[in-house]
Amino acid sequence: MRYQRSSALFAEAKKYIPGGVNSPVRAFKAVGGEPIFVKEAKGAYLYDADGHQYIDYISSWGPLLFGHAHEPVLKAVIEKAKKGTSFGIPTEIETELAKLAVSMVPNIDKIRFVNSGTEACMSAVRLARGYTGKDKIIKFSGCYHGHSDSFLIQAGSGAVTFGSPNSPGVTQGTAKDTLLANYNDLEGVKALVQANAGEIAAIILEPVAGNMGCIIPEDTFIKGLRELCTQEDILLLFDEVMTGFRLAKGGAQEALGIDADIVMFGKVIGGGLPVGAFAARSEIMAHLAPEGPVYQAGTLSGNPLAMSAGLAMLTEIDQHPEVFESLAKKTAFLHEGIAEVLTEKGVEHQINRFGSMVSVHFCDDQVVDFASSAKGNNESFKKYFHGMLDQGIYLPPSAFESYFLNDALSYSDLAKTLEAVRAVF
């Protein structure tokens, strides 16, 4: 049996961990079968417990821009670990990473480090509410901003994969302050703003969505949101957990040419260790404790190990900005190759791509929001996913997730991937 050891490890894990995993999408429920267990990874490749090699297209869901176990990051973490892993007392490296991040991202003066994207988004909304003195927020169906209560309302990613976009445990009281709109539907947002005049603190979105597949914002939509927020004294929050330091040095703000009011980070900023962050202009960040009254804290926030990984990763990006063009070219090569095979085989499909994010949808109509993404044929997706897995290609195990390419991928890896697609169909 090809996955014998992984299967045994999964059976053992299920005895002690709910569903055998610590994050639901990993359990393969959306695609059937059982997850592979990873033993190690290097560069573009994962190795499972049964000794198989995989070309990896999720890169730990985004952070690993240069591939697994990238030497400069490893070296920084190992050296730092020898000097202690957490103090709960300030360290110089926090300022070094903050200074570098602020220099790379447009339109931010100060940044606060936390431990995950969930924490970053949760804290950013609290800051937006504290700053504006208003309670309600607008989010978009299919956008995922982590698993804090206010966001588990028509959430994307794992939540929708498991049919629980509105999670039990989120109270009506919390849910009533989260208003829902459809991605790329500016008129819908304007109507919500009008119906709740003077009550909306923030509009939060993934500026390029990656939790309902990869969805690209229309120009009029994203510019319209910016104008609307400015007119109505609403803060525009960009959840750049996936896009930050991945689409460009300055993330989606730079790639789209739009200024957000608060920007949230995760993934790349931690170089593969648990780091999240939120950032804004000084005037907004001044409302955060201990400078201001909006409370937020954490024992492991800014811990030296995570900061050293983040600093090594952002330094690499700062010194090698050509990585973005290289990644975009590789992603375009993959996109065009998959499209060619699927067209030739008569398989209906849509492929969305922005920079190094891409997703394949098995449907005919353009995929521009959650409703159109949900129309994808999941049976075709399952066949595609497992067929690729059996040939050593690891894709996201849900049709609602984006691929994240890393620059360790070679053109020969990409060509091998395209051969696998041809074999599956």
Q: Which is nearer to ligand HOZ, 158 or 270 (CB)?
A: 158
- Residues with Cβ within 8 Å of 331's Cβ and at least 6 positions away in sequence, in order, are 353, 355, 356, 357, 358, 405
Question: Do 105 and 244 touch, CB atoms closer than 8 A?
Answer: yes
End-to-end CA distance of the chain: 23
Q: Is 267 a catalytic residue?
A: yes
Query: Among residues 25, 2, 122, which one has the least CA distance to residue 395?
Result: 25
Within the chain, what is the greatest distance between any pair of CA atoms?
Answer: 61
Q: Does 335 bind ligand HOZ (CB under 6 A)?
A: no
Q: Is 80 a catalytic residue?
A: no
Q: Does 397 bind ligand HOZ (CB under 6 A)?
A: no
The region of 21-29, 107-115, 122-130, 249-257 touching ligand HOZ under the rule CB under 6 A is 21-29
Q: Which is nearer to ligand HOZ, 200 or 268 (CB)?
A: 268
Which tokens in the block code for residue 259? 């200024």
Q: Does 404 bind ligand HOZ (CB under 6 A)?
A: no
Q: Could you give the strand order of the β-sheet that contains 350-354, starting from the edge strand earlier in sequence?
A: 350-354, 357-361, 403-404
Q: Which is nearer to ligand HOZ, 158 or 302 (CB)?
A: 158
Residues in contact with ligand HOZ, shown as a per-residue x/- string from 22 to 61 under the rule CB under 6 A: -x-xx----------------------------------x
Q: Does 401 bind ligand HOZ (CB under 6 A)?
A: yes
The residue from 29, 267, 330, 382 that is catalytic is 267
Q: Does 211 bind ligand HOZ (CB under 6 A)?
A: yes
Q: Which is nearer to ligand HOZ, 211 or 303 (CB)?
A: 211
Q: Which is nearer to ligand HOZ, 150 or 157 (CB)?
A: 157
Instruction: Tell me the closest approach of the beta carbon of residue 26 to ligand HOZ, in angstroms.
Output: 5
136-140 vs 200-205, strand pairing mode = parallel
Which tokens in the block code for residue 280? 């804004």
Q: Could you give the strand order of the β-sheet that contains 178-181, starting from the edge strand earlier in sequence?
A: 110-114, 276-280, 262-265, 235-239, 200-205, 136-140, 178-181
The residue from 144, 183, 394, 403 that is catalytic is 144
Residues that bind ligand HOZ (rule: CB under 6 A) add up to a total of: 8
| Residue located via tokens 């209906």 | 348
Give residues 118-157 in contact with ligand HOZ (rule: CB under 6 A): 157
Instruction: Tell me the closest approach of the beta carbon of residue 124 to ligand HOZ, in angstroms.
Output: 18
Q: Which is nearer to ligand HOZ, 49 or 193 (CB)?
A: 49
Q: Does 190 bind ligand HOZ (CB under 6 A)?
A: no
Which residues are annotated as catalytic?
144, 239, 267
**Where along the sequence are the contacts to ligand HOZ (CB under 6 A)?**
23, 25-26, 61, 157-158, 211, 401
